[in-house]
Amino acid sequence: MDIIKKIYEGFVISDGGFGTMLQAEGLKAGELPETLNITRPELITDIHCRYLEAGAQIISTNTFGANSLKYAGDGESSLENIVKAALSCAKAARAKSGKDAAIALDLGPTGKLLQPLGPLGFEEAVEVFAQTVRCGAANGADFILIETMTNSLELKAAVLAAKENCDLPVVASFMLDQNSKLMTGADIPAVIAMLEGLRVDALGINCGLGPDKMLGMIEEIYSLTSLPVCVCPNAGLPQMVDGKTVFNVGPEQFAEQSVLLAKAGARMLGGCCGTTPAHIKALSTAIAELHPQPIIKKDYTVISSYTHAVYFDAKPVLIGERLNPTGKPKLKEALKTGNIAYILEEAVRQQENGAMVLDVNAGVPEIDEAATMAEIIPRLQSVTDLPLQIDTGNLGAMERAMRLYHGKPMINSVCGKAESIKGVLPLVAKYGGVVVALTLDENGIPNSAAERIAIAERIIAAAREYGIEEKDIIFDPLTLTVSSEAESANITLDALTMLKTAGRKSSLGVSNISFGLPNREILNSAFFTMAMDRGLNAAIMNPMSVEMMKAYHAFCALRNLDAQCSEYIGFASALNVESAALPLKKQQQETAADTLAGAISRGLKEKAEAFTGTMLADGKLPAQIIDEEIIPALNEVGEGFEKQKIFLPQLLSSAEAAKAAFEIIKEHLPQKTDESGKRIVLATVKGDIHDIGKNIVKVLLENYGFEIIDLGRDVEPEAVLCCVKANAVRLVGLSSLMTTTLPAMAETVKLLKAECPECKVMVGGAVLNAEYAVRITADCYGKDAMEAVRFAQSILGE
Amino acid sequence: MSLFIYQKPAAELDAPLKETLRYMGFRGNAEEKDEQAALKAMQTVKEGSNPIAVYTLNGIKRTNKCELDLGFGSFYSEDLSKYLKKAEAAVCFAATIGMHTDMLVKRYAEISPLQSLYYSSAGTNLIEAFCDGFCEDIAESMRERGLKPRGRFSPGYGDFALDCQLDLLKMLDAQKRAGIYLNENLLMTPVKSVTAVVALEKIV
């Protein structure tokens, strides 16, 4: 059966719960259900037959957990045998029934969490699914049914595995919680954007909830997707009321509620946990006379992160430009030296300042761009939930980034050159994304708006050949500086008007307009307003620029794109908060902080930054500021902490205020000399993922001038040793929160003592004590961050 | 054996500010700015959390002196045996507020450990409040049966081994039902998750 054709023709009934049936037949807790394909094939075949008799047109193989992680052996219960036997049972049932049913190769989650939340690598996950897919396709599955997915990255891995290893249609179904979100946080628009980008054939939801709870979700899915919608609810949820068990939606009620789901747009309907052939029979009867809702193509231009989608529409989208090393020496240096923390900080700051998407470019000549992208994309997605714009001309880097990206990315960029079209568009077709199309070609950038639009037309035509719809292209009519080309702003603005008139989406790198001119923000913000007024849908800009944000919020308020001007009010009110307006109590607190030292003691970061800037401007030397203000303040706070006059949060506030002051001072200090003598390696030991404590120690140590090599969390003993040797480090700090990871700490200390006996080791963490530290031959047990500082000072000197 | 699901919107949970401040490490000396920061963190944590518990109600098999079977295989624990001494039955549960707090803690881990600590403390407060609310509702629903719960007892307390979590979570189908994963070092993800046993004793 051509299942997709069938779905486009009308309703298709899927089967119900399989585990439920197996449990009713006596499947024991802990027993792997898929082994029954081999040990009791007649039972599996019989369950399929009962669903077929009940009216199911789709039967799903008993392979929900059939993957190489659970079936790693080569024997009788090898993955291949399990999947083959599953298909054979399904085929036997179909033959016995004499019906034209479709057999779905059922793929459930791997059972392991994917990185960065868990241990399973993305490519590893793809390969786990790929093995099951290859086996299922070779043994006669009609389509791939990916179901009950709770992590959209794992869902992406499964879809890619299916697409890369067979030609069968793919139906992707995910499990939502009562807040309409996946376990990893994605909302419905985000998942749909990603799945449509990956070109699945149908999508929907199953498990987790009963049919009544799914109604609103199906309505939302139907309103957003251009694809057929599937739904397989549970037979309600078991609950306890007044000490009695109240659970299960019976077949009739299930059917009644499923009719509502069908009316809301679902076409492929079945059941999940708790449902039985009786439910499917009732469902099949109930929808027999219904007509399905039409499948309507949607015209949204949308990208997504792992949590939410961003739509390109009337309200301009702000794309933060700060992660592009062009003209940013600090970022360039961070990319070269692998200073990921700097990159992550830039990302978070842009988000805090109002960016909605972040442009990411790792194009520094001396580095391996593809490897860098592969490292920073997942790291960025672990600190920011904004969608990313993958910005590179390196196709290898682009593909690595698109593959690993959790969501549907924005791609910057393709242009009218044949080589660019041939390289970039197949990637967009495979991984999904909204691609920025630059209106230039082999002849350069045309001097008229009309010629730029002509290039846009050629790119649209080329994209169509790759199956990429126009809605997935955003055009950049290019900004050239007015200092060298007097007409450039006019040309660009006219091109924007033409794009808007033709119903196309646009994006611009706004700041280019002012290259070579003084006080660039004046021109940038004015041009930004003009461009937005011509219909600009997205701007690559600096969200830290107050002038640009003023232009944006004013535009949105004036053009009725900001309901009740609420965003404008929030933004504008925060701009000029005079101290007179502060509550009295706050004023009293702040008067205590009228020096840099006072600001640090009181943990007032912004004030500390302001004082530092003023003192430097007044000609005070960096060393003077450190010695006369920062160090005394830190000492005062440190002593207060040791005497338990102040507590951890205050210590941390002061440390972060001091750090902010240092960051400003650093820019005025001469180039660093070799400070390897003050270098400390910090790590949370293998198996442990808690790092708050380690990060607190880090910030304090940095305050006192130590250079920290932070190896992060879950660090192998060998990695610590390797780093110590490579950097001639004399002190290591190890952290562990769990009793279960203490052996890993002992192992790390043992290895360091054996290989680098001159290197001292300090340990800390909630479950540690001085006695244990002695037992594992650590040199110091730091009960808190200040003790770590004191020990470091005693070993490495002031 | 039936599995039950218990859910309550985060907004309805009573998680007092002073508890978040206590988890932070304040000892009654927080200033207004600290309280504001804690309130903001609690709001953010609440907005993205989806508290859910999955539980069973089981009889207690005492196979040997301190060997117990609560439905997820037998194991030895003197302390849990003592805790369950007068119990007629036990509720076994796994609860979580979801992945949102983990993400927030991670977002600020390297940038601002202070902010990270605020989110972590707000998350701890919320999961504790959720577990408290759950136990109160269990008490309510068990009253008619003449049973009352004792304070919960988690793996890791006394000699109730952490590795019991493996079978406990498996019995509860916690990965599928509540999104709780356990790694090889017996750490749960989401971090703000709790497993526990609640003794149900006869009301006298």
Q: Is a pLDDT exceeding 60 seen at residue A518?
A: yes
Residues in A closer than 8 angstroms to B145, CB to CB, are 243
Q: How do beta strands A505-509 and A538-541 pair?
A: parallel
Residues in B closer than 8 angstroms to A690, CB to CB, are 191
Q: Given pLDDT bands bounded at 50, 70 and 90, which one contains residue A702?
A: confident
Q: Could you tell me which of A113, A384, A124 has the C-alpha nearest to residue B191?
A: A113
Look at A740 and B189 and tell me if their CB atoms are within 8 Å. Answer: no
CB A269 within 8 A of CB A258: yes
Q: Report pLDDT for A585.
A: 44
| CA distances for A518 relative to A326, A485, A528, angstroms | 19, 16, 17
Look at B50 and A181 and tell me if their CB atoms are within 8 Å. Answer: yes
Q: Could you tell me how many CB contacts below 8 A there are between chain A and chain B?
A: 151
Q: Given pLDDT bands bounded at 50, 70 and 90, which one contains residue A587?
A: very low
Q: How far, in Å, CA of A628 to CA of A623, rounded?
A: 8
For helices A584-591 and B32-48, angle between their N-to-C axes, nearest 10 degrees: 120
Q: Report pLDDT for A606.
A: 84
pTM for the structure as a whole: 0.87
CB A763 within 8 A of CB A745: yes
Q: Report pLDDT for A143.
A: 98
B45-78 residue pLDDT tens = 999 999 999 999 988 888 877 888 888 888 999 9
Look at B110 and A345 and tell me if their CB atoms are within 8 Å. Answer: yes
Q: How far, in Å, CA of A282 to CA of A258, rounded?
A: 10
Residues with Cβ < 8 Å from A532, sequence gap 6 or more? Answer: A316, A539, A551, A552, A555, A559
Amino acid at B158: G
Residues in B closer than 8 angstroms to A740, CB to CB, are 162, 185-187
Mean pLDDT of A269-279: 94
Q: Report pLDDT for A672.
A: 54
B34-43 residue pLDDT tens = 999 999 999 9
- Min Cα separation B60/chain A (Å): 18
A46-69 residue pLDDT tens = 999 999 999 999 999 999 999 999
Q: Report pLDDT for A240.
A: 55
Q: Report pLDDT for B1.
A: 63
Partner residue opposite A118 with nearest CB, options B29, B52, B181 = B181
Q: Given pLDDT bands bounded at 50, 70 and 90, which one contains residue A742?
A: confident
Peptide bond into A378 cis (omega under 30): no
Look at A384 and B113 and tell me if their CB atoms are within 8 Å. Answer: no
B13-39 residue pLDDT tens = 999 999 999 999 888 888 888 999 999
Eight-state DSSP code of residue A733: E
* Phi, psi torsion values for A216, nearest 5 degrees: -60, -35
Grouping H, G, I as helix, E, B as strand and the rest as coil, residue B12 is: helix
For CA atoms A121, A126, A132, A138, the dihedral sign is negative
Q: Report pLDDT for A581.
A: 42
Q: Which two tokens stand for residue A379?
A: 């790291």
| Geometric angle at alpha carbon A389, from A384 and A393, rounded to 5° | 135
A150-183 residue pLDDT tens = 999 999 999 999 999 999 999 999 999 888 999 8
Residues in A closer than 8 angstroms to B116, CB to CB, are 692, 695
Partner residue opposite A692 with nearest CB, options B5, B117, B183 = B117
A315-338 residue pLDDT tens = 999 999 999 998 888 899 989 888
Look at B145 and A690 and tell me if their CB atoms are within 8 Å. Answer: no
For chain B, the average pLDDT equals 92
Q: Is a pLDDT exceeding 50 seen at residue A261?
A: yes
Q: Is a pLDDT exceeding 80 seen at residue A592?
A: no
For chain A, the average pLDDT equals 91
Residues in A closer than 8 angstroms to B191, CB to CB, are 689-690
| Geometric angle at alpha carbon A142, from A139 and A147, rounded to 5° | 100
| CA distances for B183 relative to A226, A744, A798, B166, B193, angstroms | 39, 15, 41, 9, 13
Q: Per 3-state DSSP, what percentage of chain B is helix, strand, and coil (rounded to 5)? A: 45, 25, 35
CB A620 within 8 A of CB A626: no
Partner A, chain B 3-22, Cβ-Cβ below 8 Å: 3-7
Look at A646 and B29 and tell me if their CB atoms are within 8 Å. Answer: yes
Q: How do beta strands A410-415 and A388-391 pair?
A: parallel
Q: Report pLDDT for A116.
A: 82
Look at A383 and B106 and tell me if their CB atoms are within 8 Å. Answer: yes
CB A607 within 8 A of CB A579: no
Computed on alpha carbons and rounded to an integer, the radius of gyration of chain A in Å comes to 30
- CA-nearest residue to A343 within chain B is B111
Look at A348 and B111 and tell me if their CB atoms are within 8 Å. Answer: yes
Among residues of chain A, what percentage have pLDDT more than 90?
70
- Min Cα separation A542/chain B (Å): 20
Partner A, chain B 106-165, Cβ-Cβ below 8 Å: 106-114, 116-118, 120, 141-142, 144-145, 156, 162
- CA-nearest residue to B27 within chain A is A647
Q: How far, in Å, CA of A183 to CA of A578, rounded?
A: 43
Q: Could you tell me which of A538, A548, A549, A553 has the C-alpha nearest to residue A514?
A: A548
Mean pLDDT of A586-598: 64
Residues with Cβ < 8 Å from A253, sequence gap 6 or more? Answer: none
A647-658 residue pLDDT tens = 888 888 888 888
Eight-state DSSP code of residue B6: E
Q: How far, in Å, CA of A495 to CA of A475, rounded?
A: 10
Q: Report pLDDT for A636.
A: 87
Cβ of A216: how many Cβ atoms within 10 Å? 12
Residues with Cβ < 8 Å from A265, sequence gap 6 or more? Answer: A218, A219, A221, A222, A223, A229, A293
- CA-nearest residue to A644 within chain B is B27
Q: Report pLDDT for A690.
A: 77
Amino acid at A421: I
B30 touches A at CB < 8 Å:
yes
Q: How far, in Å, CA of A200 to CA of A700, rounded?
A: 50
Strand order in the sheet with B74-76: B61-62, B67-69, B74-76
Q: Could you tell me which of B150, B130, B119, B143 has the C-alpha nearest to residue B194?
A: B130
| CA distances for A359 relative to A188, A389, A790, B188, angstroms | 24, 4, 42, 34
- CA-nearest residue to B53 within chain A is A239
Cβ of A324: how many Cβ atoms within 10 Å? 20
Q: Which of B3, B57, B114 to mutate to test the interface with A (most CBs of A within 10 A)?
A: B114
Q: Given pLDDT bands bounded at 50, 70 and 90, which one contains residue A582?
A: very low
Partner residue opposite A341 with nearest CB, options B24, B102, B110 = B110
- CA-nearest residue to B7 within chain A is A178
